[in-house]
Amino acid sequence: MTNPFSKVLIANRGEIAVRIIRACRELGLKAVAVYSEVDRNARHVREADEAYLIGPAPAAESYLKIERLIETAHKSGCQAVHPGYGFLAENAEFARLVTESGLVFIGSSPESIRLLGDKVESRRTMARAGIPIIPGTADETDFSDAALIKLAANIDFPVLVKAAGGGGGKGMRAVYEPSELPSAIQSARREAQSAFGNPTVYIEKLIKNPRHIEFQIFGDTKGNRVHLFERECSIQRRHQKIIEESPSPALTPELRRQMGQTAVMVAEAAGYYNAGTVEFLLDENKNYYFLEVNTRIQVEHPVTEMVVGVDLVMEQMRVAMGGELSWDQSDLYQRGHSIEARIYAEDAAAGFLPSAGPVLHCEEPRGPGVRFDNGVETGDEITVYYDPIIAKLICWAPTRAGAIIRALQALDRTILLGVGTNIEFLKAVLKRATFASGDYHTGFIGEHLANWTPEPLTWEQHDLALALACLAVRKNYTEVESTSAAGIAEPWAQIGHWEICGGAR
């Protein structure tokens, strides 16, 4: 088939936009970035061939502005749009409007995205296709508070209230007592409305201590479909993944084969093509249940890329150009082990509150088996307007133990001065014996690191830091001018006056 596009608009920002720009380059395609006012000089803007302003900082006025994105794509001579993840990536209306305006949408069909984006509808479809689903709302059509409360009464508590319109833990509430259900439904509805524009919520039985295991699927428009094995995503905080790995330590070859087959069946039931992810829960008895399909490239896609030896983003573009899948199922196998650690701008010791600030100095780790997908460089600013993900560290090694060690070493060499990050928290996870054993579930952080605080520096490290401090306060040393807005609290202002060292006072 002839090449139907040579210039791609990337309707996203941050590390994923940078990642997609690279894939465009490698395929000889031109990449067009879009940006909000606060992202004027962001890394994705710098790395693109061209960049266009689409609006003010709030995402609703920029990265979520469908008409403006489509208009910009046409104006800049693009023939295709890549949505990345987040923002409009799973918005069926966006996919439809992009396609109707004559552009190629790099993703699945609007119909599949709509079907799978509606978690209630997709549960119904999968149940009919013989795919195991978690007990809960299935064929019901009444989603009023009263109907949900009635349904929940027929399931053993605890139950989950979940948003029909989305995932990522938004609009989701775990309810342990029937008396808590009405207020949980209310709160989940509000959050779902705000996050997905859809207040519909449904009920699902809460599976105790599950593992979250997902399968990468890929299809072309000719009806070929494969899976690219699993990613283990059970290390989550506030229902958001922070560490992913492949292969999953929980799967036997037989279970992996079964789940992989089920994942392809899910793709077939939904008529799905391009890259997608079938999420499963695995219970303590190793029963697996269909959870949902993410109809986009995932944050954690590099884990699969490293273990299977493929480029998923490039494949997305090839398939979107009408090409056939590059692989048959029999071409695909897992080799070695890969672990991803997501670096977030957040304070892990204070309930994972988002942090913001300038990146005063950035050093990316390098070395054999080390990949660092990064959205920022020295001099960039992390704002509170968008998802707090800054970068992803992905390490590969022949063995799982080797990948863990490699990731720890690389985190020691990951430097992001000026903005609070979760780097120390990630190290704490990787160092836990339970993590090393591979026998963990989604409750891991709550059970092992609920009251985590950073390990204190050793005396040697502390003294070296003070030596560095003495050298750095000199005038001719790097001083970055203050540009940040007022109102950023100085934590030191809240701390009592202590005298540790004695001496000069």
Partner 1 sequence: MIKKFKDAFGIYNVEHQRQGDALTLKVGGRNLEVNFDLSQPPRCILSVANRRWVGYAVQRNGRLFLHIDGREKVFAIVSEDDEYRQKGAAGAGDLSVVAPMPGTVIKILVEPGQRVKPNQPLAIVEAMKMENEVRASGEAVVKQILAAPGEQVGFGQELIELAPPTADEAQSASK
296 part of the active site: yes
Q: How many residues bind partner 1 (CB under 8 A)?
A: 70
Q: Does 387 bind partner 1 (CB under 8 A)?
A: yes
Q: Does 497 bind partner 1 (CB under 8 A)?
A: yes
Between CA 23 and CA 292 the distance in angstroms is: 27
Closest separation between CB of residue 503 and partner 1, Å?
4
Q: What is the DSSP letter of 305?
A: I
436 sits in which H/E element:
helix 433-437
CA 380 to chain centre: 21
- 336: alpha, beta or left? (left if phi > 0; alpha if psi -120 to 50): left
Of 296, 342, 371, 406, the active-site residue reads 296
Q: Are 165 and 119 in contact (CB under 8 A)?
A: yes
Closest separation between CB of residue 195 and partner 1, Å?
4
Q: Are 272 and 295 in contact (CB under 8 A)?
A: yes
Q: At residue 153, what is the residue type?
A: A
Q: Does 487 bind partner 1 (CB under 8 A)?
A: yes
Q: Are 434 and 444 in contact (CB under 8 A)?
A: yes
Closest separation between CB of residue 272 and partner 1, Å?
26
Minimal CA–CA distance to 111: which of 263, 291, 295? Answer: 295
Q: Taking CB under 8 A as the criterion, which residues in 409-428 touch partner 1? A: 411-413, 415, 417-418, 421, 423-424
Q: Does 491 bind partner 1 (CB under 8 A)?
A: yes
Q: Does 130 bind partner 1 (CB under 8 A)?
A: no
Between CA 274 and CA 290 the distance in angstroms is: 19
Binding track over 133-172 against partner 1, x by CB under 8 A? ------------------------------------xx--
Query: Tokens 């990468």 correspond to what residue?
Result: 216
Nearer to partner 1, 267 or 345 (CB): 345
Nearer to partner 1, 133 or 415 (CB): 415
Side-chain-side CA neighbours of residue 16 (13 Å)? 25
Query: Tokens 């990316």 correspond to what residue?
Result: 364
Pairing of strands 30-36, 7-10: parallel
Q: Does 102 bind partner 1 (CB under 8 A)?
A: no
Side-chain-side CA neighbours of residue 150 (13 Å)? 7
Q: Does 287 bind partner 1 (CB under 8 A)?
A: no
Contact region for partner 1 (CB under 8 A) — 114-122, 219-227, 438-446, 484-492? 484-492
Closest separation between CB of residue 389 and partner 1, Å?
11
Q: Which residues bind partner 1 (CB under 8 A)?
A: 169-170, 187, 190-191, 194-195, 238, 350-351, 353-354, 356, 358, 360-361, 363, 384, 386-388, 411-413, 415, 417-418, 421, 423-424, 457, 459-473, 477-482, 484, 487-492, 494-495, 497-505
Instruction: Give the active site residues.
Output: 296
